[in-house]
Amino acid sequence: MSASETVHIPVLADEVLDWLQVKPGMIFVDGTLGGGGHSRLLAERLEGQGQILGIDRDPQAIERTTKLLDGKPVTCVHGSYSNLPEILNELNVEQVDGVVLDLGLSSDQLADRERGFSFTFDGPLDLRFDPTRGEPASRLLARLSAEHLANIIFEFGEERFSRRIARSIVETRRSSPIQTAGELAELVRRCVPRARNSKLDPATRTFQALRIAVNDELAILDQALTRLPDCVRPGGRIAIISFHSLEDRRVKVAFRQDERYVILTKKPIRPNESEIQRNPRSRSAKLRVAERASR
């Protein structure tokens, strides 16, 4: 894939646009810019009047999408959506009219053979959104104890065979460190029996767990949920798309317990069958929307 191309398809795009009530002159934040799908559609609704701020931790996404959205009212920033107050302050923006977060892994990242996000390719086991920060997953596997690894895989992957997987990782690394996505995927498949009629690869939950740990995803989401309301004007809206229960539960609880949020979607919005057929990766998506309270 060319550095100036994207294969990512925005999930629940029509629903996001409708719930955010996009009108010309408004300012929106796309806190997970990725391939720029949501930002592009938001910009089109603005009809040249307004501004989109696109944020992403992945420098490759920023570089690619800046080129793709050239000429549109989109400002791309390398950073984390949890730091939105600081980013808005630097841009001299007091508050915005809405925020969208798509917490799913970008198809562009899955297609990158050098990042290890997809175990379809035997690339380096990195899993970092920002390769310039933190440590790759391979280093995590090399230094953590079996107990610590098992806790990560169980807590972040909800994998009931976590202890078996962790023991196998520690045993394997004594003779040969695990360096690639393919090596880890094969190890996990040997540890986890495949459920009958299941299309889910046995390695999926372990890769999810390691990716969450490497990128500190849940802590960043928790921090953002406490900071986002103050960045949005009263009556503005926050739309969050999650892809697994660990994320969705946090969004649901924050929307319910924080008085600055007014819940607009009593139940999460799911993609219809037509969208799932066009984009199978949307199958597990859940959209929740809240409004910034006036008080």
Q: What is the pLDDT of residues 154-182, one digit of tens each?
A: 999 999 999 999 999 999 999 999 999 99
Please state which of the ranges 96-110, 159-173, 237-251 shows the lowest mean pLDDT: 96-110
Tell me the per-residue pLDDT of 49-100, one tens digit each, with 9 for 90 and over: 999 999 999 999 999 999 999 999 999 999 999 999 999 999 999 999 999 9
- Residue 162 has a pLDDT of 98
Give the count of beta carbons closer than 10 Å to the beta carbon of residue 44. 12
* Residue 56 domain-assigned (yes or no): yes
End-of-domain residue from the set 162, 186, 216:
216
* Residue 26 domain-assigned (yes or no): yes
Same domain, 29 and 65: yes
* Residue 238 domain-assigned (yes or no): yes
Residue 266 CB-density burial (10 A; 0-12 exposed, 13-18 middle, 19+ buried): exposed
Same domain, 121 and 87: no
Same domain, 209 and 222: no
Note whether 39 and 33 are within 8 A (CB). Answer: yes
Provide mean pLDDT across the span 131-140.
Answer: 94
Note whether 54 and 1 are within 8 A (CB). Answer: no
- Residue 5 has a pLDDT of 56
* Residue 274 domain-assigned (yes or no): yes
**In terms of DSSP bridges, do strands 232-242 and 261-263 run parallel, antiparallel, or are they unpaired?**
unpaired
Residue 237 CB-density burial (10 A; 0-12 exposed, 13-18 middle, 19+ buried): buried
Q: Is the pLDDT of residue 1 over 50?
A: no
Share of the chain above pLDDT 70, in %: 95
- Residue 2 has a pLDDT of 46
Reported for 127-133, long-range contacts at CB under 8 A and 24+ positions apart, including other chains, are 127/207, 127/210, 127/211, 127/214, 127/215, 128/214, 128/215, 129/56, 129/57, 129/58, 129/215, 130/57, 130/58, 130/59, 130/78, 131/59, 132/59
Mean model confidence pLDDT for the chain: 92
Q: Which amino acid is at 232?
A: V
* Residue 29 domain-assigned (yes or no): yes
Structure confidence at residue 197 as a pLDDT band (50, 70, 90) = confident
pTM: 0.92
- Residue 264 has a pLDDT of 98
Same domain, 182 and 230: no
- Residue 6 has a pLDDT of 55
For the chain, how many structural domains are there in total? 2
End-of-domain residue from the set 216, 236, 263:
216
* One-letter-per-residue 3-state SS of 155-223: HHHCCCCHHHHHHHHHHHHCCCCCCEHHHHHHHHHHHCCCCCCCCCCCCHHHHHHHHHHHHCHHHHHHH
Same domain, 246 and 103: yes
* Residue 8 domain-assigned (yes or no): no
Per the model's pLDDT, the better-predicted residue between 239 and 199 turns out to be: 239
Q: Is the pLDDT of residue 121 over 90?
A: no
End-of-domain residue from the set 216, 244, 259:
216
Tell me the per-residue pLDDT of 209-231, one tens digit each, with 9 for 90 and over: 999 999 999 999 999 999 999 99
Same domain, 234 and 249: yes
For residue 93, give its domain range: 13-108+218-292
Q: What is the CATH number of the domain that holds 211?
A: 1.10.150.170
Same domain, 151 and 177: yes
Q: Which amino acid is at 48?
A: G
Same domain, 169 and 234: no
Same domain, 51 and 145: no
Same domain, 152 and 237: no
Q: What is the CATH number of the domain that holds 31?
A: 3.40.50.150
Same domain, 195 and 284: no
* Residue 7 domain-assigned (yes or no): no
Same domain, 18 and 144: no
* Residue 199 domain-assigned (yes or no): yes
Provide mean pLDDT across the span 37-48.
Answer: 93
The vertex-128 CA angle with 61 and 104, nearest 5°, equals 65
